[in-house]
Each structure stands twice: as structure tokens, then as C-alpha cells.
């Protein structure tokens, strides 16, 4: 069997498995945790790449592409690490391109469509604020690899936060049109932020082993970062709703499948293709 | 809808080893904060610098290109303004 065929068969069998047990947790808590980080960075990186050639001005086109590449870089390190934790010899490419939709552990927030430029930078802002507190906490992880990735990523994320916050304030407190668009973007995105802080067994086990921090404990720091900027931008988050998204459990919105179809197309059509 | 162009900002970057900020290009931005961010994203992607200045292009006063003869040509034949006619002590190798 050629290497390419082997990869293809592996991909196919995993797909069948994931269809058979959609909501099962076949992975260890440690692996689940790393995949949540890796997939969230990967999917947002892919989303932001869609702006390439479409951003409102050249300067912001480059800024969004820079951020997308930072996120894809983070996901590469994290996926490589996940492959090591899993111990099944899957490399970053196999994890990125040959898993089925339900095997992705990204939070739903990052797979939502970009919307307009305002919605894109607002999502970047909400997610970068989350990533920043996460990386800061993971500096103390007992997983040395994860701590090293956190240290490298923290500087990138701080810039993402700075870039997006500047735009959130300018657009939220800008013209009547830009304010209205930003408020409706916030109304749309905000309910998806609840998922960032819902705790589950993965969080508890990883926190107990000091490999990571329970995401729920990051909420106060996140709110302390996000709310003053929103206030400055004259934007008000909607009240709490009963809505709950479950992307990190592998149950995604209708948007992820379309994104993956485009992202995975090349590796699915030409398994093992390299350049 | 009225379309307004963002003002132009000239970008100056001080490289890692350089002493002075050097002009390297320009960006369009609505204000100085965004101009600095854009300059960072456009001009320092490949470790080009450690410090950025941005200046509104319309705040720069430039010499008149038509005044070049009287501005610069008179310096052509004043070679004594170059410090090349001094005898240097032997201890000074390079100057």
C-alpha cells in the first residue's frame, strides 16, 4: 500500500467511526484540551484567511492576514503537540485535514461566518481577550510543551487584542451606521461566548492534573478586559439567554462543514499532497 | 453616500541596528493610532524595525523641486567643506 493510500484509508475509517459515535469522547482529557486550543486557533485562522483579497483597505488586508497566519502558526504547534499526546503518529496535517467535522473541538464562536469587517474584528476581539487570559494561565502548565506554546503565542495574541480593540472602539463609537452594525454584530456573537466558560469533565481533569486551567475560571478576567472596551465603544452586550453552543464537544453549527469542505478539499482529493 | 479618503501618513522605521528612523513608505489611516498599527502590519512583518514614527503627509513641508539649482548646486564646488584636507596623526587609522 502506498503511503498516500494509507493516509486515505485512515482518514476514511476515522470518518466512519466519528459518524457511528457522534458525541463520544474517544480522546483523553489532555488530548481533548489541547485539541480545543488547536482547533479554535486553526478554524479562526481559516476564517480570517477568507478576507484575503476582500478587505476594505490594503492595510487591514495585511493586518488580518498577519493575524490569520499567527493563528495558523499556533494551531500547527498545538496540533503537532496533540499528535504527540495522542501517540498515534498523526502529524499536524493529518489532524488538520483528515478529521471529520465532529472530531473538531473548536468553540462555535470561531466557525461563524465573518460577516462584515466590523463583525470580524469584534469576534477577533472577543476571542483574543479569551486567548490572552488562557495563554497567561498556561504559562504555569505542567505540560512543558503547552507552556512553551503559550509563551510564544501570548505576544501574538496581545497584538491581536490591541488591533481589534482599537477598531471596536472606533467603529462602535463611530458613525450611526457603524455603531448600528457593531451593536448587531455584538448581539449575534455574544451568546456564543457563553461556551467559552462552561465547565465540563475535560476542564476538571486537566485542571486537577495541573496540565491546564479550567476555562470557566477565566471568565472574570475576560469580562474585566472586554466590558470596559465595549463601554468605551458605546456597545452594550445583550442579556444572558438560554442559548448554548457546543463546538468544543464536537457538536457544531451548520457553518463548520462548509468551511472544512474548502479547507480539506486538497488533502481529500490528493491525499498526502505536499508543496 | 459621501466617500472620504483616509489621510496619508508617512512611515519612518528605526531598524534593529540603525540609529535613525528612516522613511520607508506610507499608509492610509483615519488617525495616528491606526496608522501606527497599519505601519506595523505593512512594514515590520520581516523584522525590519524596533520603532515606528508616523507623520501626517500634509504636515510635511517639502523643498520646491524647481528651486533645486539655487538650493543645492552652490555646494558642488566647495570641496573645502569636506574634512579631507587635514593631516591626521598616525595613531588615527581610519576616519
Q: Residue B89 — very low, low, confident or very high, per pLDDT cuts 50/70/90?
A: confident
pLDDT at A207: 96
pLDDT at A20: 40
Q: Which residues of B touch A167 (CB under 8 A)?
A: 34
pLDDT at B46: 86
Query: Helix, strand, or coil here: B42?
Result: helix
What the block records as the C-alpha cell of B58 is 500634509
Q: Are A146 and A211 in contact (CB under 8 A)?
A: yes
Q: Give the span between the Cα atoms of A78 and A30, in whole angstroms.
A: 12
Question: Is A158 in CB contact (< 8 Å) with chain B?
Answer: no
pLDDT at A45: 98
pLDDT at A132: 98
pLDDT, tens digit (0-9, with 9 covering 90-100), for A158-184: 999 999 999 999 999 999 999 999 999
| Residue in B6, B28, B33 nearest the CB of A166 | B33
In which residue ranges of chain A is pLDDT below 50? 1-25
Phi, psi of A82 (to 5 degrees): -60, -40
Cα A34 to its chain centre, rounded Å, is 11
Query: Helix, strand, or coil here: B2?
Result: coil
pTM, 2 dp: 0.85
The position carrying cell 492576514 is A65
Query: Helix, strand, or coil here: A25?
Result: coil
pLDDT at A244: 95
Question: Is A66 in CB contact (< 8 Å) with chain B?
Answer: yes
Q: Tell me which fold the domain B8-81 belongs to.
A: Ubiquitin-like (UB roll) (3.10.20)
pLDDT at B77: 84
Q: Looking at chain B, which residue has its C-alpha nearest residue A168?
A: B34
Q: Are B21 and B14 in contact (CB under 8 A)?
A: yes
Contacts of A73 (CB under 8 A, 6+ apart): A156
pLDDT at B95: 59
Domain ranges of chain A: 3-14+26-242+252-269
Domain ranges of chain B: 8-81
Q: Which helix (H) or strand (E) holds B26?
A: strand B22-28
pLDDT at A253: 97
Question: Is B68 in CB contact (< 8 Å) with chain A?
Answer: no
CATH classification of A3-14+26-242+252-269, choosing from 1.10.10.60, 3.40.309.10, 3.40.50.170, 1.20.1260.10?
Answer: 1.20.1260.10
Q: Which residues of A touch B30 (CB under 8 A)?
A: 170
Q: Does the beta-carbon distance from B27 to A59 stay under 8 Å?
A: yes
Residue A156's nearest CA partner among A56, A50, A45, A47 is A45
Residue B9's nearest CA partner among B27, B34, B36 is B27
Contacts of A266 (CB under 8 A, 6+ apart): A97, A273
pLDDT, tens digit (0-9, with 9 covering 90-100), for A66-82: 999 999 999 999 999 99
Residue A210's nearest CA partner among A146, A144, A147, A141 is A141
Which residues on adjacent β-strands are paired with residue B25?
Answer: B11
What the block records as the C-alpha cell of A42 is 486553526
Amino acid at each position: 500500500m502506498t503511503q498516500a493510500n494509507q493516509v486515505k484509508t485512515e482518514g476514511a475509517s476515522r470518518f466512519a467511526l466519528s459518524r457511528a459515535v457522534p458525541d463520544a469522547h474517544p480522546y483523553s482529557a489532555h488530548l481533548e484540551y489541547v485539541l480545543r486550543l488547536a482547533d479554535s486557533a486553526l478554524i479562526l485562522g481559516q476564517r480570517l484567511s477568507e478576507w484575503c483579497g476582500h478587505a476594505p483597505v490594503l492595510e487591514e488586508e495585511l493586518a488580518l492576514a498577519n493575524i490569520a497566519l499567527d493563528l495558523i502558526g499556533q494551531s500547527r504547534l498545538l496540533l503537532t503537540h496533540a499528535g504527540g499526546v495522542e501517540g498515534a503518529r498523526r502529524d499536524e496535517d493529518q489532524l488538520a485535514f483528515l478529521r471529520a467535522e465532529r472530531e473538531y473541538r473548536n468553540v462555535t464562536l470561531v466557525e461563524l461566518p465573518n460577516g462584515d469587517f466590523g463583525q470580524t474584528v469584534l469576534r477577533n476581539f472577543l476571542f483574543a481577550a479569551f486567548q490572552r487570559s488562557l495563554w497567561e494561565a498556561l504559562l504555569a502548565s505542567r505540560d512543558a510543551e503547552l507552556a512553551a506554546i503559550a509563551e510564544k503565542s501570548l505576544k501574538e495574541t496581545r497584538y491581536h487584542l490591541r488591533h481589534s480593540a482599537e477598531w471596536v472602539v472606533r467603529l462602535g463609537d463611530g458613525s450611526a451606521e457603524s455603531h448600528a452594525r457593531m451593536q448587531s454584530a455584538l448581539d449575534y456573537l455574544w451568546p456564543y461566548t457563553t461556551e467559552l466558560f462552561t465547565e465540563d469533565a475535560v476542564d476538571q481533569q486537566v485542571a486537577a492534573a495541573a496540565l491546564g486551567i479550567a476555562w470557566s475560571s477565566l471568565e472574570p478576567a475576560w469580562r474585566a478586559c472586554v466590558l470596559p472596551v465595549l463601554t468605551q465603544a458605546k456597545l452594550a452586550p445583550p442579556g444572558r439567554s438560554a442559548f448554548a453552543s457546543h463546538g468544543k464537544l464536537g457538536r457544531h453549527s451548520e457553518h463548520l462543514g462548509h468551511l472544512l469542505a474548502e479547507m480539506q478539499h486538497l488533502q481529500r482529493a490528493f491525499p498526502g499532497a505536499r508543496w | 453616500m459621501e466617500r472620504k479618503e483616509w489621510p496619508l501618513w508617512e512611515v519612518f522605521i528605526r531598524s534593529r541596528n540603525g540609529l535613525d528612523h528612516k522613511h520607508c513608505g506610507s499608509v492610509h489611516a483615519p488617525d495616528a493610532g491606526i496608522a501606527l498599527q497599519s505601519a506595523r502590519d505593512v512594514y515590520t512583518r520581516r523584522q525590519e524595525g524596533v520603532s515606528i514614527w508616523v507623520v501626517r503627509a500634509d504636515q510635511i513641508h517639502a523643498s520646491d523641486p524647481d528651486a533645486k539649482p539655487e538650493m543645492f548646486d552652490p555646494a558642488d564646488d566647495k570641496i573645502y567643506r569636506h574634512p579631507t584636507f587635514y593631516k591626521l596623526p598616525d595613531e588615527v587609522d581610519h576616519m
